[in-house]
Structure formats: C-alpha cells, structure tokens
Structure 1
C-alpha cells in the first residue's frame, strides 16, 4: 500500500484520508460523494485534509429559495476569485456552472483543484434544475479536466444515495468514489478527547459514549476538567444545553415529513431487542409498506438505526434496532426530565431504569465494535457471519434472546452474552442455569453442528468461580473494545 501523508489535525479517519490522498494524485478527474449523519465531521474532514487545495467551496442553505441559493453561489465565487467587487448573481444553475468553468480555466492545470459542494442536497430546491445543471457541467466540462477533483457532501444520506450514487440519469456511474463517514469508535473518541486535553479512563469514556455516541460535534462540547456526569448535566439537562433540543433539529434538518421518522425511532426506543419491518408498520400505524421501507432505508443510511438478519433467517425477517446513542438517551432521559442542572444525571443513574438503558446501550456499542471483539478472540482473519437471535415461547420452551452471535467458518459459534456492570460480573447458580438453557434451546431450534463457545462481554470481566469455569469459553472486557 502506498504511503500517505495524514493530517495531524484529524483524529482517526485513516482509511478515508488514504482514499482522498489517492484521488488527489490520481491524474484523473474525480467525483467523490461523501455522506453521513449530521455533525459527524464530513465538512471538517474535507476542509482539513485538502486545506489550500480547495479552489471553490459552496454550501447549500437549508430550505432557502432558489434565488437565495444562486445569490449564495455568487458570494462563494467572489470569495474564490478573491475579488473586491461582487460577482453578478447568475440567472440559473446552467449559467452559474458556466461562470464556475470560466474561473477554473484560469487555474494552473498541473495543480489539483478541489471543488467542494457542501450540503449538496440543499442546493437542489424544487424546480431549480440544479442537479440537471450539475450533471451537465460534470459530463461536459469537469470530467475532462484531469486536475479537477469534485467533492460533494450531504447529511441527507438517502438523498445522496438515490440522486447521486444510484443516479439513473446524467450521473449514472459517474461517481468515482463514495465514502460513508461513520461516528468515531471508542478508541477514536478517547483519542479525540485527549487531543483536547480531556483525560478520561476507559470506563468514563464508555459512559460518555453510551449517552452521546462518537459524534465529533457533540464531543467538542465536553470541557476540560469536567467529570462525565458534569458534562452530561450541562449538555443535556440545562436550559441552554447543546443537546437539550438537538433531537428535533436532528431529524427535521435531514428528512421531509420527519414526524414519520421520529415515530419509528420512538417505537424502536421502546423495543430494545428490535422490531421487524411488519412489526414497525403495525406499531407505527403506517398505511403503506413501501412508505415504511423508504423511511427505514433513510434512517439506516443516515446511521440512526441498524438492521440485523437473525441467525438462520432471511433478509425479509431482519430486525431493526435503534443504534444512535444520543437518540436513545434523549428519549429515555432528556425529553421528560423532571429535574435539571447539576446532579441530574447522577440522580438518574441510581434509578432502576438505568440498568435497562445501560445494558441496551452497551450491547449496541459492542455490535458496532465486532472487529475489536474478533481481534480480542484471535479470529480477525477468520470468515464470520455476525447476527443475533431470538426465540419466541412455544411448545413449553421458554423464549430467549441472544445478544450477539459470531458464526465462524472454522465450525465454531461464539454465543456472546453482553453485560454492563460497574464492577466485576458474577455468574451465580440462577444465571448459570439460564445460560446453559439458552445454549440448549439455540442448538435444538437450529440443529447446530458447530461447537458453541459461550462468550462473556463485560466491562470489568467475570469472576473466576466454578460456574464461569464450567460454562464460559472466552471473555472480552471493556478494554478490548478500545484496541
């Protein structure tokens, strides 16, 4: 693999930086589409990595009229040209792109020039013709310029996929690279906080991540010298806290008719183990299965929910789970908080609901860190299929749920039990019987021939007693998720 220069200002994003470096030096015109949920760091990545390579930058204005978008284009072109006098506002997007071409013709052809369109979907206002004009400009001009690197970003992930990546018109198969930017991992979160002078151990970083996730803009709100409880109190439980009212803004800024999306998010928040598509349709009183499919796709592509195909099931039987940490935390604690200010979160963390929430949040985080779990098990190079499994009560057999299954090519299945604890977890007689029965039910229901390795994933490990030694084959601790 080629050596790349990585930006010292960027935390993580190693794979993305390598891709951008390769495209920058490709010697060909490039059309790069970057998408990901709001505040995940798309704009920061492009501005920081490309720095002075950006020749022109235009950011769409949310819900602005066609004329205002064109006026904004004129200001952006004036800035790019470093002109003292205002640039004439174009009459339409065809004229706007012609003006952009004239500007780019004056640039040195031997130096890469990055053209950055941020919040690209917002530029395509109704009947504006923006996307058609962009398609024409790319095909007739930009694609022929080997020094031009066009980067388009959008938080409306489903729009980007439908209208750009899977475009059936003038942009069909024109995108040369797509990048879906995900939130920070636990390790990247800890590194990011450290670069800001915030030193938290693994347990405190995990607690913070469970509440607000690995969203850079949210993490930026943490202050040096604050405990996690203090930070959560200030951000989530004060009148002007950054995350106090973020929930509504989050969905309204990304989706039309966002109340449908919120309805599904709320339904999934109540069902931590997930819902099938048909269960969602019923739970949310959706009149059309097609509507449900479209909304679920939009939510999943934007990173708010995840779908999992249960063990030995088909894609049609997929389970959908809410995997956005902030949304779950907001609906569980922030929305109907009866108290506010200092001490609010510490008070909440002593309630019975805390155990349920923390368990679900930790389980979701483990599912996002399967690569780290596989490395800890020493099977990162073994082909695996990751799923979950649930069994409804029938024929006198109890219902059961398996949090995480790692079905391995080497004829072993790691049956993972995820437990969030503030201390070492102890397997007692009752839990040992539950775990043993769970293994038996799973093997019987699925006619398993592979060996089953019961695997514990906990924060501080499992006490080494007789029950542990007789049942558990492997264990993963919180520290492993940070590697």
Structure 2
C-alpha cells in the first residue's frame, strides 16, 4: 500500500469493509485509466481468494470458459463445465465454502460489465449468489470495478430485483488533484516546477495512467510530443478507445463532447438538444452518463437554481484532443515543441487554467479562509442586448458565502505576476455593476484574482480584494 498516492477516503472505506462483521458488496467505479484496479490490488497487496477479469467483446461461452479456468487454478479442483452464470457462481460458492471462515474471504471481479454480454443472465446469477448465499455468510467481501457508470446505475444501483439496495459501499474514483499529481510524479523521479506541473494537468487532467507514461529523462514539451505527436505516439488513438470503452453508442457521446469543446462557457441542455439530431431521451441519458464519468460538469447559473444550468466539457484530455489533435494533419513529430510559443497554445492555457481553478474550488476556499463556511458555486453569463444598449457579461466562477459576500473570480495564467491594465479594471467595474443590476443582489461583491504568481503592484491593483496563487491550488 506504500505506492498509493491520495485515495485516503477510499482506503478508509476499504479498511472499514474489511473489518466489518457482515458481508460487503463494494463497487469501485470511475472513468477509464483512473486507477480502479491499481487501488484494489495495492490495498490487498494482490492477495485475493478469487480474482477474475472480464474481457471486452467476448462471448458468454468464452467468458465462462475463462472463469472456469481461473476458478480451477484457485481451488485446485477440476470443475469440468459451466453452462451458464448460475452454475459459475454455484461453483464459486462451493470453492469459497472450503476456505477458513474466521476471516473475510476476498473476491475481486475486475471490469464486471464486460461479463454481462448479450442474454447471459449474469446480473440475475450475481443476485442469486449474493442474496442466496454470500450475505448470510457474513464474511464475504466482493469487490467489483466498473468502468461504465451507466451499467452500474441501471444494472446495480437502480436494480429493482435482488440487488436493490444490496451494495454496501460505492467508491467513485475521481481524477488526481494537483497535490496528488505532484506527489505521484515525485515518486517517479519527475520534479518539475509547479508552472510545468499545472501545464501537465491541462493536458492529462489528473488521470494516473497518463502520468505513468511520462519519461523522467525528457522535458515536458518532449513528453507531450512523445505521447501525442510522434509517429506511433502512445496516446494518439486514446480518444476513440476511451469513449468506445466507456459507452455504448459512443458516436452520440463524442458528438456531445465535441459540441461542448466548441463552447468554452458551456451550453444548456436545451442548446445541446437543438444542436443534435438524436432523440432527446438518448441525449438526456448521454449527458447524465458523461457527468457521472467526470467528463462534463453541470454548473448552475447564479440566482437560478433550476433553469439555465450549463454543462461544460471538463475532461482535459478530451479538450486537448479537440484543440490540437482531431484536425491536425501536419505529421510533425515535434509539433508541440514547435508551436509552444504560439498564440493558439497561450489561449488554450488561459482557458484550461480556468478549468483547473474550478476543479480546485476547495483549495481556493481554503486559501480564502472560508473552507468551513457554507458556500455555493455558480457561473453567470448574459448575452448583449443591442436594442436596449446593454453589454454582455460572463463570470466563470462565483463563490457565494453564507455571510453575504460574493466572490467574483478572475483566473489568469501567465509566466510572471499579472499586471492589471486600466481598460481591464474599467471592464471589471462595469461588469460588477451589470451583475448587481441584473441579479438584484444587495450582497457585498468582491473581486478575487486566482493567478500563477500573484497580481503585480500598480495603481489599478485596487480592484483586487483577495488573491489566490497557483501554490494555493497545490494544497491538499
């Protein structure tokens, strides 16, 4: 377990389940490459009473044959044939019954959805195994990893049959934070400065597997070329593999994320429906599944708790793909190194830093000294109205405090201290006035700047009420 970085809550939950006085059904879910299998294998030091890995696209007959071979290797017996999943779980029950009963008997099923192929009756067989035998034993711990959150939602959590309310522990693995990213890379001998680590996060988005591919002997730009732009680059085809592995009807999902990649400020569900030709029920389901998989996030519009919420694409890998890879036909093996100083890349870093800040809103609250205070997060945007002479306005992140203070957050990524120009100060004052007028709020408005190295001194700095720097984002 020494290799585990972060995952403290998950570790504590697994420890609780291992030491409980009842049988435990544990579901570990999250997007592909997030480290579900690694977490379980490290926690149990790869020692299980039974472990089986589901295979993608394999027929039920072949899955059963594989299950039989694995069961025979663990049990030392020779179960001759398994006709269906009912027989498979009966055989597993017979084997587990032969083990010492004075400890938890650990069963690990990796990639469980891939076992549920076609009309395989897998879920009903699992129900019979768990309800008919495992629960009564009080010392079975069944851990299953699930890459497809839609499968977990509709086959397990919302199951109206025997598995309804039987899951005793749900563990959702989210991407690493900046703090966890820094700690993980340090274990691999990569100790870049925090400016570079933040850039790395903009590309790889806290997904542990992607970080494991970085070469400590290369610079950041060389690594990006190696992973994305070199001939045979390791992650050049990852986008299609990612969505095809996560979702059925992957084309609809990629259409939604591509659409959101073109609208950095987000889109309402109504806007998404109007832009796509698929049935609305399919779109609704796809949006929910993308949100559960940490690909997109839903942000409420300030002052409107139900209507007008916007969805943003927040998977950094997908954003990077659409920005620099999807239409890149240059065949330049060092494309990133050759375009590192381009305006296109600087614009991308600016918008990506905003998402980095939004993902680390807890660290921002801590830096402001309000982590323990009740707050709400929202966004705000209004389109210009030429007929009424009203300008438009947008605030990507708003933190509203219980003590009637509202932080209007400005997020700036730059190579040194950020200097506020006179015209920008005027624009901020005009925008806060527009915000107060349209929202009718009488609460105190403060401008909070979140920057890499702070705000430079100058006469326009008076607009800044509070500051958060890049270092604050790296706090645990």
Please give the range of the TM-score, normalised by the shorter of the 2 chains. over 0.9
Q: Quick one: distance in 1 between partners of 2:473 and 2:141?
A: 36
The CA deviation at 1:79 is 2.9
Distance 1:39 1:296, change over 3 A: same
1:44 alignment partner in structure 2 = 38
Q: Quick one: distance in 1 between partners of 2:41 and 2:332?
A: 36
Structure 2: which 5+ runs fail to align? none
Correspondent of 2:18 among 24, 28, 42? 24
- Written as runs of structure 1 = structure 2, the 5 A alignment for 1:82-97 is 83=76, 87-97=79-89
Tell me the TM-score normalized by structure 2. Answer: 0.97
Distance 1:341 1:56, change over 3 A: farther
1:456 aligns with 2:433: no
The CA deviation at 1:86 is 5.6
The CA deviation at 1:346 is 2.6
Correspondent of 2:346 among 339, 355, 369? 355
Correspondent of 1:72 among 61, 66, 81? 66
Q: Quick one: distance in 1 between partners of 2:20 and 2:6?
A: 23
Return 162-171 or 219-228, whichever deviates more. 162-171
Mapped contact 2:148–2:246 kept (Cα < 8 A)? yes
Residue 49 of structure 2 aligns to a residue whose secondary structure is: strand
2:300 alignment partner in structure 1 = 309
The CA deviation at 1:342 is 5.3
Q: Quick one: distance in 1 between partners of 2:234 and 2:32?
A: 14
Mapped contact 1:38–1:250 kept (Cα < 8 A)? yes
Correspondent of 2:464 among 451, 469, 472? 472
2:50 alignment partner in structure 1 = 56
Tell me the TM-score normalized by structure 1. Answer: 0.96
1:132 aligns with 2:127: no
Q: Quick one: distance in 2 between partners of 1:261 and 1:52?
A: 35
Q: Quick one: distance in 1 between partners of 2:27 and 2:236?
A: 31
- Written as runs of structure 1 = structure 2, the 5 A alignment for 1:45-444 is 45-51=39-45, 53-81=47-75, 83=76, 87-286=79-278, 288-340=279-331, 343-394=334-385, 395-444=388-437
How big is each residue's C-alpha offset from its partner over 1:299-346, in whole Å with a ceiling of 9 and x where there is no partner?
111111111111111334210100000110011112222445554213
Mapped contact 2:230–2:334 kept (Cα < 8 A)? no
Residue 54 of structure 1 aligns to a residue whose secondary structure is: coil
Runs of 4+ in 1 over 6 A off after TM superposition: none
The CA deviation at 1:238 is 1.2
The CA deviation at 1:348 is 2.5
Distance 1:463 1:318, change over 3 A: same
Q: Quick one: distance in 2 between partners of 1:174 and 1:21?
A: 19
Mapped contact 1:28–1:146 kept (Cα < 8 A)? yes
Q: Quick one: distance in 1 between partners of 2:179 and 2:271?
A: 35
Residue 396 of structure 1 aligns to a residue whose secondary structure is: coil
Distance 1:336 1:52, change over 3 A: closer
How big is each residue's C-alpha offset from its partner over 1:36-66, in whole Å with a ceiling of 9 and x where there is no partner?
0000000000111012552111111111111
